[in-house]
């Protein structure tokens, strides 16, 4: 082989080597890109999963939270109330046959309690609420008659309300499970009272 042929052969090998190298580099870049995209997707999936797991269900509707102090006036943005000023002493937990004062019950919600408000004129409903309250236990839970509402039952926690026509045990239980002991400026206090 003469010099020209050797140079041409060497140039050809150099070009082939560069092409192989570029192909390998391209392949490495594609793998890096794929790895980077997979990592981002994994992070997004984990973040969404964590939010769903740790935030709990979004039961009922969210209500603007009013500041809550032990003082009057007792003005509320929902009826029955979900937050706001309240009395200095909370109500006893459990089922009550007599209507509890809303400003007293708001103190319980400040501590993390859930309240089931019910129409006292529907005796079957009263029995259903009593049975459910007994089943769920009194810890951080109150049930009280409340005549001044449009629906048959309302379930409240600090800043949340679930309005129900008739007795909907499944949704009431879901609300209680989601928020009992968890909402309110002093949430969790009802667990130790």
pLDDT at 192 over 60: yes
Range of the domain at 10: 1-55
pLDDT digits (tens, 9 = 90+) for 106-137: 999 999 999 999 999 999 999 999 999 999 99
86 and 170 part of one domain: yes
Please tell me whether residue 184 adopts helix, strand or coil conformation: coil
Q: Rg for the chain (alpha carbons), in Å? A: 32
* Cα angle: 56, vertex 57, 58; to 5 degrees: 120
Q: How confident is the model at residue 14 (pLDDT cuts 50, 70, 90)?
A: low
The whole model's pTM is what? Answer: 0.71
126 and 95 part of one domain: yes
What does the alpha-carbon distance between residue 73 and residue 75 come to, in Å, rounded to a whole number? 6
Q: Considering its fold, how many domains does the chain have in total?
A: 2
89 and 161 part of one domain: yes
124 and 84 part of one domain: yes
If you average pLDDT over residues 139-149, what whole number do you get? 94
74 and 113 part of one domain: yes
43 and 131 part of one domain: no
Please tell me whether residue 158 adopts helix, strand or coil conformation: coil
44 and 120 part of one domain: no
51 and 65 part of one domain: no
pLDDT digits (tens, 9 = 90+) for 31-57: 666 565 654 544 544 443 334 334 446
What is residue 13's predicted lDDT score, i.e. its pLDDT?
75
9 and 46 part of one domain: yes
Q: What's the CATH code of the domain at 75?
A: 3.40.30
């Amino acid at each position: 082989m003469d010099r020209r042929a050797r140079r041409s052969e060497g140039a050809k090998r150099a070009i082939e080597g560069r092409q192989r190298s570029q192909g390998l580099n391209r392949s490495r870049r594609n793998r890096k890109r794929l790895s980077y995209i997979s990592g981002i997707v994994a992070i997004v999936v984990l973040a969404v999963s964590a939010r769903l797991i740790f935030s709990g269900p979004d039961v009922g509707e969210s209500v603007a939270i009013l500041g809550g102090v032990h003082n009057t006036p007792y003005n509320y943005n929902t009826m029955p109330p979900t937050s706001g000023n309240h009395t200095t002493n909370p109500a006893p937990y459990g089922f009550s046959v007599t209507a509890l004062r809303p400003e007293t019950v708001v103190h319980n919600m400040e501590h993390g309690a859930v309240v089931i408000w019910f129409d006292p004129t529907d005796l079957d409903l009263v029995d259903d609420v009593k049975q459910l309250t007994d089943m769920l236990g009194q810890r951080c839970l109150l049930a009280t008659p409340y005549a001044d509402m449009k629906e048959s039952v309302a379930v409240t926690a600090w800043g949340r309300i679930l309005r129900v026509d008739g007795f909907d045990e499944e949704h009431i239980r879901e609300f209680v499970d989601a928020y009992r002991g968890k909402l309110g400026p002093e949430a969790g206090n009802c667990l130790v009272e």
